[in-house]
Structure 1
Amino acid sequence: MEYTKKNYKKAPLKAVHFRVLFAIILGQIACGYALGISGTGLTQAQHYITINDFWVGLIGAGSLLGLMGSALMGRIADQFGRRRMLLVDMYLFAVFSLLQLVTTNLFLLFILRLLIGLMIAIDYTVGNSLLVEWLPAKESGKQQSQLIIYWTVGFILSYIAGIMISGFGSHNWQVILASSAVPGLIAGIFRSVSKLPASPSWLASQGENKKAQKLIQKHIGKRWGLPLRLLKAKPVDNISWTILFSKKYRCRTLVGGLFYACQAFAFFGISIFLPILLKSMHMGDSNLSGIIYNGCMMVGVLIGAWIFKRISRRAFLIGTFFLSALSLIGMIIGPQSSFGFQIGIFALFSIILSSGLTLDYPYPTELFDIKVRATGVGTCITISRIGAASGTFLLPVLTNIGGAHLAMLVCTIVLIIGGLICLLWAPETSPRFVKSK
């Protein structure tokens, strides 16, 4: 009998799509907030407890090191599904955030930041997979590229909250760190109330075609179903990480991880410890300079979301790396006594680098097919967190050794390396530009 169902990935937007999208958006806000709040909290902690540059960098990098568990989280999601993990991770995220209130032990704080990072890893990896497996194909790339806008909202809110939270005396820095529990709880409660659906594509990959078809028809309509390629596909065997380094996926895995690592080194190193960097740069009112920087970050991701739909992924990647490096070089060699020049170039750097962040979600996802997607994306995020954690750990150390210029010089070198990696090996994944070849 002829199969009459239309591919559910071509369906118009329905309530289920918005429900899944909003659940992931709330998680992105919580993740951005938790990663951003560590710099402000730890900068204040230095006034109340004995904490050297090593521990400031290590605890600040803790969440990013936890994100290195993304490969493991992706592998679990490819084996056991997406929904259950996303229903519990934000509640655990909130608990770990609140526990920062009850300890000043540096090692325990590092462990809590590590665990928070592991929960963020679930949202980054599993949430992204669920989103792309539900959204219509024509909406997927666009909505993924816009996720960074909401992440940036969370990141900027953390900077504002860090400035505004006061009145708790010697515990103020702990309250700042623990405040990430609020967006985490909001995300967790919404996911529970909205009853997140499982992924039809993942169910089909496990041979559960009937369950997948019922799920699609329940949420989208009777006319829609799995595409024929998924119906005819054999159930996916247990995926080994080694497949990502086979001839088929090797280049994609390395490019996806290394571009992300080089970008994250500069972004997280500078953004998380912005108060320390601005103080070293003698930029007058560091709060005002920080607000300008963060405001430009939002401008950058909005511009990036607009550019994303208009140029090739490859050109976008290469351009943001080299232009970001060029702006940092301008800061290093430009007139140091001119506040206007320095803050102007720093704002330009923020806009350019943050515009490239719009590629962080869609590009790694587009590099891999359904059978290895969560594992592949998770592995790319794991590789990238080495860069992010290195930048966050090293920035306060480098600034202490050689001032802001040494920190910026190292970031410039890493950005140039990232640009060269993309120039030599980054594949084009934009459907519009791949088809046009």
Structure 2
Amino acid sequence: MEYTKKNYKKAPLKAVHFRVLLAIILGQIACGYALGISGTALTQAQEYIKINDSWVGLIGAGSLIGLMGSALMGRIADQFGRRKMLMVDMYLFSLFSALQLVTTNLFLLFILRFLIGLMIAIDYTVGNSLLVEWLPTKESGKRQSQLIVYWTIGFILSYIAGITISGFGSHNWQIILTSSLVPGLIAGIFRSVSKLPASPSWLASQGKNKKAQKLIQKHIGKRWGLPLRLLRAKPANNISWTILFTKRYRRRTLVGGLFYACQAFAFFGISIFLPILLENMGMENSDLSGVIYNGCMLIGVLVGSWLFKRISRRAFLIGTFLFSAAALIAMLIGPSSFGFQIGIFALFAIILSSGLTLDYPYPTELFDIKVRATGVGTCITISRIGAASGTFLLPVLTNLGGAPLAMLVCTIVLIVGGLICLFWAPETSPKFI
């Protein structure tokens, strides 16, 4: 009997697509907020509790270290599905955020930041996989590249909250840290109310074709169904991490992880501890300078979203690395006037943050469905080594050699990232393959 169902990945956008997209967007805002809030909170904490540069860096990097669990979260999602993990992670995220209010113990704060990072890892890996497995193929890359805009909004909101929350005395920095529970609860409640659907593609990969077909027809319509290639595919065996380092996937795994790590080293190191860096650079009115920098980050991701479908992935990656490195070099060797420094710093923010629009779609495009969550999770795990290193080292480097030393190290890492992409990064854009 001839199979008459049309591929659900070619269906027009329906309510279910927007429901899944909004659920992931709200998670991205919460994740961006939680990662950004630690810098301003810890800067204030130094006024009330004894905390050295190493602990500032370690607690600031705690969530990023937790994100190293992305590979584990991706593996669990490839074995047990996406939906259930996304239904609980934001509630746990909110609980761990709230617990920051009741302790000043540095080790416990680090553990809580680590656990928050682990919940963010679920949203990064599992949320991205669910989104790409529901969205129509022609919409997937564009919508994924726009996720970073919402993440950046969350990150900027955390900076604004950090400089405006006041009046709580010695507990003010704890209130700032705890405030991440608000976007977390909003995301969790929406997912509960909207009843996130499971992934049809994942169900099919587990041999549950009938269940997948019913899900598609319930949400998209009777004439839509699984593509023939998924219907005919054998159920996936348990995926081992070692497959990502076989000849078929090795280059993609390393490029996906290393480009992300080099980018994250500079971005998180500078952005999370922006108040410390701006103060050390001697910039007048560091709060205003921070708002300008964060505003330029938002401009950057909007520019990146516009560029995403217009230039090749390779050119985009290489350009953002090398041009952002050039901007930092200009800051190091250029005049020390406030106007020049903040102007180049703003340009740096625009260039580097425009490259963030590749962080979600590019790793996803590197892997096929049977290893997608595991592959993306592994790339994120590798990248968080860079992010955590940058966040831990920036206050230490700034204390040792001032802002110039911190920026010099970031420049070297960005150049290394550009060279990795120049020699190894595969082109994944359908338009330029």
> In which range does the TM-score fall when normalised by the shorter chain?
over 0.9
Where does structure 1 lack aligned partners over 5 or more consecutive residues?
none
SS at match of 1:431: coil
Q: Give the TM-score taking structure 1 as reference length.
A: 0.99
Deviations 1:320-362, CA, capped at 9 Å, x for gaps: 00000000000000011x1100000000000000000000000
Aligned: 1:223 with 2:223: yes
Deviation at 1:430, TM superposition (A): 0.3
Q: Are 2:24 and 1:24 equivalent residues in the alignment?
A: yes
State yes or no: 1:373 paired with 2:372.
Answer: yes
**Where in structure 2 are the equivalents of 1:102-251 lying within 5 Å?**
102-251=102-251
Question: 1:432 offset after TM fit, Å?
Answer: 1.1
CA deviation after TM superposition for structure 1 residue 271, in Å:
0.1
The aligned counterpart of 1:422 is 421
Q: CA RMSD in A?
A: 0.2
Note the alpha carbon deviations across 1:116-146, whole angstroms, 9 max, x for none.
0000000000000000000000000000000
* Cα drift, residue 392 of structure 1: 0.1
How far apart in 1 are the matches of 2:344 and 2:76?
43
- Residue equivalent to 2:58: 58
d(CA) in 2 for partners of 1:44, 1:373:
40
Deviations 1:92-123 (A, max 9, x none): 00000000000000000000000000000000
Question: 2:183 & 2:391 partners in 1: Cα distance?
Answer: 23
Q: State the partner residue of 1:89.
A: 89
CA deviation map 1:129-164 (0-9, x unaligned): 000000000000000000000000000000000011
Number of the residue aligned with 2:390 = 391
* Other-structure match for 2:297: 297
- Partner Cα distance (2:431, 2:309) in 1: 9
User: What residue identity is the alignment partner of 2:428?
Assistant: T
CA–CA separation in structure 2 for the residues paired with 1:161 and 1:406? 29
- Partners of 2:420 and 2:323 lie apart in 1 by 15
Q: Distance in 1 between matches of 2:427 and 2:63?
A: 31
Query: Which amino acid is the alignment partner of residue 401 of structure 1?
Result: L
Spell out, residue by residue over 1:377-429, the C-alpha distance to the aligned partner (whole angstroms, 9 max, x if none): 00000000000000000000000000000000000000000000000000000
Secondary structure of residue in 2 paired with 1:433: coil
SS at match of 2:50: coil
Amino acid at match of 2:309: K
TM-score, normalised on structure 2?
Answer: 1.00
In the TM superposition, what are the counterparts of 1:309-324 in structure 2 within 5 Å?
Answer: 309-324=309-324
1:168: Cα distance to partner? 0.6
Matches within 5 A, 1:233-382: 233-336=233-336, 338-382=337-381
Distance apart, 1:363 and its partner CA: 0.1
Which residue is 2:399 aligned to? Answer: 400
Distance in 2 separating the partners of 1:283 and 1:166:
23
| Counterpart Cα distance in 1 of 2:396 and 2:146 | 33
Tell me the alpha carbon deviations over residues 269-311 of structure 1, each in whole angstroms, 9 at most, x when there is no partner: 0000000000000010000000000000000000000000100
Matched letter for residue 64 of structure 1: L
Provide the C-alpha distance between the structure 2 equivalents of 1:170 and 1:236, rounded to a whole number of angstroms.
54
Matches of 2:430 and 2:223, distance apart in 1: 26
In structure 1, give the amino acid aligned to 2:174. Q
Mapped partners of 2:215, 2:38: distance in 1: 40
Q: Percent identity?
A: 88
Please state how far the C-alpha of 1:23 moved relative to its aligned partner: 0.1
Distance 1:410 1:221 in 2: 54
How far does residue 68 in structure 1 lie from its aligned partner after superposition?
0.1
Name the CA distance, whole Å, in 2 between partners of 1:170 and 1:77.
41
Residue type at the aligned position of 2:346: A
Counterpart code for 1:245: F
Q: Deviations over 1:25-74 (max 9, x none)?
A: 00000000000000010000000000000000000000000000000000
Structure-2 residue corresponding to 1:42:
42
Question: How many aligned residue pairs are there?
Answer: 433
Q: 1:421 corresponds to which letter in structure 2?
A: I
